[in-house]
């Protein structure tokens, strides 16, 4: 049979490292294998944890048996959910005095935080046309892909100081000061920076906001861990709220995810918020209209079940209180596992400094391990983490911390 040449011009692309690593972990039959790759919460037994508040909400929804539960919503998404998502992000409490501030925010529902990042990048590429988007070095790998597909040139600002395993604030500020141009977008992690776990302090956030305002840069916040990182919705949204409240003449946007803080990983529940300056609130509805144009051509509307769970939780004082308690449970376990790993490495007198493990914040730790050491951990000990040395602390438990620490100690001593 004669072969017909394809019209496609395609070449292989590298597989997604996180999902490939997770697949290798599941295929591994070693009894002591440990997954420190994928960013999902696990209990101390290594099991998924449907949040108790979510389970109660699901039970109530099942009992209500709403006949509309599988119907279409609006293109912009579930409107009551969007108001709840906005209020969680920006701290609104329903006071009449907040109406002017709310008028600055154009909100639409998205396919989780990834979809919010993608929609925001696409919207800016079409309607603001930034010369560049500045991403932290390092950043979540998917940020690079999202902005590449949006067609916006990507540049990076220093973020991680390898020698001290600390946040490179001076490097970030100097690069943005000297090289960023008016109208450039700057991607900022609202809290629990992925992958380093290092966040600016409040004084540094104030300086970053001042620089963005003075240089007329466009802040693009990715908020994936609100409430999950510290256990406090307010603390984890501090940077976003500071920019919003104290820079009313500066426009910005926020990609918001409920994957981590409500454990709705597979429900793909998120929102995108575009914030106008205080003199441009008249175009808010036009912004929503244009966002809907992009949504309609791509996925029509956001998924319904996850946002319905969020609404059910936030419409009940009891379930809301339960959810806040769930946030404390998750954030506290992550912090305790950081301390446990640090203490074990200190006990073993593992060469180097490990204070950064307890100084970092959120789900991930940028361990400082080299790619060779990471490969040795996988090959010899069946401990899986990204080649950058990023470890998901959620994969640690009281049972496996001694084993993981001993493995790290061995590769640090013997693998250069």
Q: Exactly one of 147, 247, 260, 323 is catalytic; which is it? A: 260
Q: How far, in Å, CA of 166 to CA of 155, rounded? A: 21
**CA of residue 9 relative to chain centroid, distance:** 33
The answer to whether 36 touches 392, Cβ cutoff 8 Å, is yes
Q: How far, in Å, CA of 367 to CA of 389, rounded? A: 5
Q: How far, in Å, CA of 372 to CA of 42, rounded? A: 27
Which of 1, 77, 50, 98 minimizes the C-alpha distance to 272? 77
Half-sphere exposure of 152 (CA within 13 A, CB side): 31
Query: Do strands 364-366 and 133-137 pair parallel, antiparallel, or not at all (unpaired)?
Result: unpaired
In what helix (H) or strand (E) does residue 373 lie, and over which residues does it extend? helix 371-376
Spatial neighbors of 290 by CB under 8 A, at least 6 apart, are 123, 126, 127
Query: Do strands 166-167 and 133-137 pair parallel, antiparallel, or not at all (unpaired)?
Result: unpaired
260 as an active site residue: the answer is yes
Q: Exactly one of 49, 78, 134, 140 is catalytic; which is it? A: 140
Beta bridge partners of 294: none
Q: Exactly one of 78, 168, 222, 326 is catalytic; which is it? A: 222
222 as an active site residue: the answer is yes
66 as an active site residue: the answer is no
Residue 310 tokens read as 């969020």
Spatial neighbors of 32 by CB under 8 A, at least 6 apart, are 381, 382, 400, 403
Please work out, in degrees rounded to the nearest 5, the angle formed at the alpha carbon of residue 365 by the alpha carbons of 362 and 370: 165
Residue 408 tokens read as 């790290």
Q: How far, in Å, CA of 50 to CA of 54, rounded? A: 7
Q: How far, in Å, CA of 58 to CA of 49, rounded? A: 14
93 burial class (0-12, 13-18, 19+ CB within 10 angstroms)?
exposed
Q: Which residues of 134-165 are buried (b: 16+ CB within 10 A; e: fewer)?
A: bbbebbbbbbeebbeebebebbbbbbbeeeeb
Active-site residues: which are they? 140, 222, 260
């Amino acid at each position: 049979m004669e072969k017909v040449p394809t019209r496609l011009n395609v070449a292989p692309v590298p597989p997604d490292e996180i999902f490939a690593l997770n697949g290798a972990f599941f295929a591994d039959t070693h009894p002591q294998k440990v997954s420190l790759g994928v960013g999902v919460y696990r209990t101390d037994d290594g099991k998924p944890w449907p949040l108790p508040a979510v389970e109660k909400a699901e039970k109530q929804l099942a009992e209500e048996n709403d006949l509309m539960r599988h119907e279409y919503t609006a293109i912009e998404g579930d409107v009551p959910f969007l108001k709840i998502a906005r209020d969680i992000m920006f701290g609104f409490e329903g006071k009449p005095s907040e109406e002017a501030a709310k008028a600055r925010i154009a909100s639409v529902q998205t396919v989780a935080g990834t979809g919010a990042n993608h929609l925001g990048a696409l919207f800016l590429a079409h309607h603001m046309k930034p010369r560049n988007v500045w991403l932290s070095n390092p950043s979540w790998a998917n940020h690079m892909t999202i902005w590449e597909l949006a067609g916006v040139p990507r540049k990076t600002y220093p973020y991680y100081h390898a020698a001290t395993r600390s946040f490179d604030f001076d490097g970030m500020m100097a690069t943005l000061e000297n090289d960023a141009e008016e109208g450039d977008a700057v991607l900022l992690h609202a809290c629990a920076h992925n992958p380093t776990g290092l966040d600016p302090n409040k004084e540094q956030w104030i300086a970053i906001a001042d620089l963005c305002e003075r240089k007329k840069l466009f802040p693009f916040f990715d908020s994936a861990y609100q409430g999950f990182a510290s256990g406090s919705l307010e603390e984890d949204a501090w940077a976003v709220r500071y920019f919003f409240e104290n820079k009313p003449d500066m426009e910005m946007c926020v990609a918001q995810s409920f994957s981590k803080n409500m454990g709705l990983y597979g429900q793909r529940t998120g929102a995108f918020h575009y914030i106008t300056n205080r003199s441009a609130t008249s175009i808010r509805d036009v912004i929503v209209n244009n966002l809907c144009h992009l949504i309609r051509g791509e996925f029509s509307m956001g998924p319904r079940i996850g946002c319905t769970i969020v609404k059910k939780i936030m419409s009940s004082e009891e379930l809301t209180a339960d959810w806040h308690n769930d946030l404390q449970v998750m954030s506290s376990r992550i912090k305790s596992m950081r301390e446990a790993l640090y203490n074990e490495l200190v006990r073993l007198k593992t060469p180097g400094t490990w204070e950064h493990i307890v100084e970092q914040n959120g789900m991930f730790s940028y361990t400082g391990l080299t790619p060779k050491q990471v490969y040795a951990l996988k090959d010899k000990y069946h401990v899986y983490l990204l080649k950058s040395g990023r470890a998901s602390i959620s994969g640690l438990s009281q049972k496996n911390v001694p084993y993981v620490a001993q493995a790290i100690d061995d590769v640090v001593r013997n693998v250069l």
